[in-house]
């Protein structure tokens, strides 16, 4: 109490000479803590320290200071009635806030509609219209290589799962979908997809899932899942491995010649000019915040397959920084090229001008570059 009295005296002297600070909290009444009445909660031991202190206000309310507030050095408190009045005022203003928010939303919708009529914005395609569009599947396969599980943190594993979902959604809504294969799904990401998301990926349509690596694409004997089937090729029956997971379960696994496989990596000196039907393009499925260098480039060389990078520098010279994209961004760029056959338009569709003119490194990075 003595220290409190000394503080009150010093504060009063300071206010008398300099006046209150503009940034200091305002208060209507200054009361010494010694005038507060110690109070105990029901059931408390009489020998214990008071649980709180109270002081009767002239408005018939009570100023209440709890022990934790004293320990934190809280100096300004309100009466219970004042807090209740503030809450009541806030609740009473809720309909007005909601009305204002609705009015602002209507203004934005009207502004967007006007821009569409002026031709500044494209008219959005409804989900029904999008679903009724004719789909023309394209024969260039895209593979996401998940063989980097041990190089990612749990948070990055979660992000990678989300990116796979974005890839699937983009392919499903595209008028020119491509065969989609996910390989090396055998680590923490598979465990997360089996448990946290309750195997929702197994219902993804037209997606092929492998626990094995992409090298099985050109292997003489593909390691089968639940078993092998037979197919007739050149008048001869051959044993083939079958897909053992997802909506394609029981169908023959994808195959490709080694010379028709291309690993996409920004470290490659080769520049991709087009996506050819009959070829397979691999994306490195890793979120690593740019920790690992030449990861996909070295993996492509060790596998003895071709490698290339997207023609970003050629068609978006404004991007002067290192071109680091997420897996789903690369996937969507490739889908856009298949649909429009124009790299510049495809790149600009996925990466708007406001992003690539002042390009910032994304929080989640993928080592395909």
Q: Of 77-81, 270-274, 280-284, give the lowest mean pLDDT range.
A: 77-81
Strand partners, 142: 180, 281
Let me know if 188 is exposed, middle or buried by CB neighbors in 10 A (0-12, 13-18, 19+): middle
Task: Dump pLDDT digits (tens) for 203-242.
Answer: 999 999 999 999 999 986 444 444 555 554 555 666 788 9
- Tell me, what DSSP letter sits at residue 121? S
Of the pLDDT bands very low, low, confident and very high (cuts 50, 70, 90), residue 365 is very low
Distance CA 195, CA 74 (A): 47
Letter string b/e over residues 99-130, b meaning 16 or more CB atoms within 10 A of that residue's CB: eeeeeeeeeeeeeeeeeeeeeeeeeeeeeeee
Q: Residue 32 has what pLDDT?
A: 75
Q: Note the Cα 147 to chain centre separation in Å.
A: 21
- Cα separation of 192 and 183, whole Å? 16
Region for 289 from its dihedrals, namely left if φ exceeds 0, alpha if ψ lies in -120 to 50, beta otherwise:
left
Poorest-pLDDT segment among 256-260, 313-317, 342-346:
313-317
SS3 track for 188-201: HHHHHHHHCCCCHH
Of 45-49, 77-81, 104-108, 337-341, where does mean pLDDT reach its minimum? 77-81
Flag the least confident range among 9-18, 94-103, 285-294, 295-304.
9-18
For residue 300, is pLDDT > 60? yes
Q: Rounded to whole angstroms, what are the CA distances from 95 to 82, 100, 101, 103, 300?
A: 22, 9, 10, 12, 61
**Residues labelled catalytic:** 288
- 2-11, 250-259, 314-323: range with lowest mean pLDDT: 2-11
pLDDT tens for 5-48 read 666 676 666 655 555 444 444 555 677 777 778 877 766 666 66
Start-to-end CA distance of the chain, whole Å, equals 66
Provide mean pLDDT across the span 347-359: 66
At residue 366, the pLDDT reads 42
Mean pLDDT value across residues 267-287: 95
Separation of alpha carbons 180 and 335, rounded Å: 11
Which strand (E) or helix (H) includes residue 183?
A: strand 180-183
Q: Token match 């491995």: residue?
A: 241
Please report, rounded to a whole number, the percentage of residues in the chain having pLDDT higher than 70: 71
Residues with Cβ within 8 Å of 70's Cβ and at least 6 positions away in sequence, in order, are 33, 53
CA 56 to chain centre: 53
Decide if pLDDT at 284 tops 90. yes
pLDDT value of residue 322: 56
* Beta bridge pairs of residue 307: 263
Strands (E) across 196-312 are located at 207-209, 228-233, 236-241, 261-264, 280-284, 306-308
Q: Are the beta carbons of 205 and 166 closer than 8 angstroms?
A: no
Report the share of the chain in percent with pLDDT over 90.
Answer: 47
pLDDT of residue 260: 96
| pLDDT exceeds 90 at position 181 | yes
What pLDDT score was predicted for residue 364?
A: 39
Closest CA to 263 of 235, 230, 286, 238: 286
Euclidean distance between CA atoms 73 and 91, whole angstroms:
30
Question: Residue 286 has which token pair?
Answer: 């890793």
Average pLDDT over all residues of the chain: 80
pLDDT of residue 94: 84
Whole-angstrom Cα distance, residue 333 to residue 346? 5
**What is the pTM for the complete model shown?**
0.62
| Biggest CA-to-CA distance, the chain | 106
Statement: residue 81 has pLDDT above 70: no
């Amino acid at each position: 109490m003595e220290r409190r009295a000394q503080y009150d005296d010093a504060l009063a002297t300071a206010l008398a000479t300099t006046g209150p600070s503009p940034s200091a909290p305002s208060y209507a009444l200054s009361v010494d803590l010694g005038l507060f009445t110690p109070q105990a909660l029901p059931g408390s031991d009489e020998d214990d320290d008071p649980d709180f202190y109270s002081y009767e206000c002239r408005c018939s309310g009570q100023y209440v200071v709890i022990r934790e507030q004293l320990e934190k050095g809280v100096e300004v408190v309100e009466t219970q009635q004042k807090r209740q009045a503030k809450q009541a005022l806030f609740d009473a203003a809720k309909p007005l806030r909601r009305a204002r928010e609705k009015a602002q939303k209507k203004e934005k919708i009207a502004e967007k509609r006007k821009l569409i009529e002026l031709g500044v914005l494209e008219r959005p395609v409804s989900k029904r219209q999008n679903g009724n569009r004719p789909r023309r599947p394209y024969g260039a396969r895209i593979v996401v290589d998940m063989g980097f599980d041990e190089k990612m943190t749990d948070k990055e594993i979660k992000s990678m799962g989300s990116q796979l979902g974005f890839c699937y959604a983009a392919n499903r809504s595209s008028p020119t979908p491509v065969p989609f294969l996910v390989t090396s799904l055998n680590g923490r990401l598979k465990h997360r997809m089996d448990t946290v998301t309750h195997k929702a990926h197994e219902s993804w349509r037209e997606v092929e899932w492998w626990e094995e690596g992409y090298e099985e694409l050109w292997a003489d004997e593909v390691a089968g899942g639940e078993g092998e089937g037979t197919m007739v090729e050149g008048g001869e029956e051959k044993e083939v491995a079958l897909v053992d997971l997802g909506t394609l379960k029981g169908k023959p696994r994808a195959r490709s010649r080694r010379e028709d496989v291309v690993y996409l990596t920004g470290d490659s000196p080769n520049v991709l000019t087009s996506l050819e039907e009959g070829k397979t393009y691999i994306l490195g499925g890793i979120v690593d915040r740019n920790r690992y260098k030449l990861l996909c480039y070295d993996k492509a060389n060790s596998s003895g397959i071709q490698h290339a990078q997207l023609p970003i520098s050629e068609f978006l010279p404004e991007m002067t920084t290192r071109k680091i994209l997420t897996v789903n961004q690369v996937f969507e760029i490739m889908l856009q090229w298949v649909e429009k056959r124009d790299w510049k338009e495809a790149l600009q569709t996925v990466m708007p001008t406001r992003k690539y003119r002042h390009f910032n490194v994304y929080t989640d990075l993928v080592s395909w570059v």
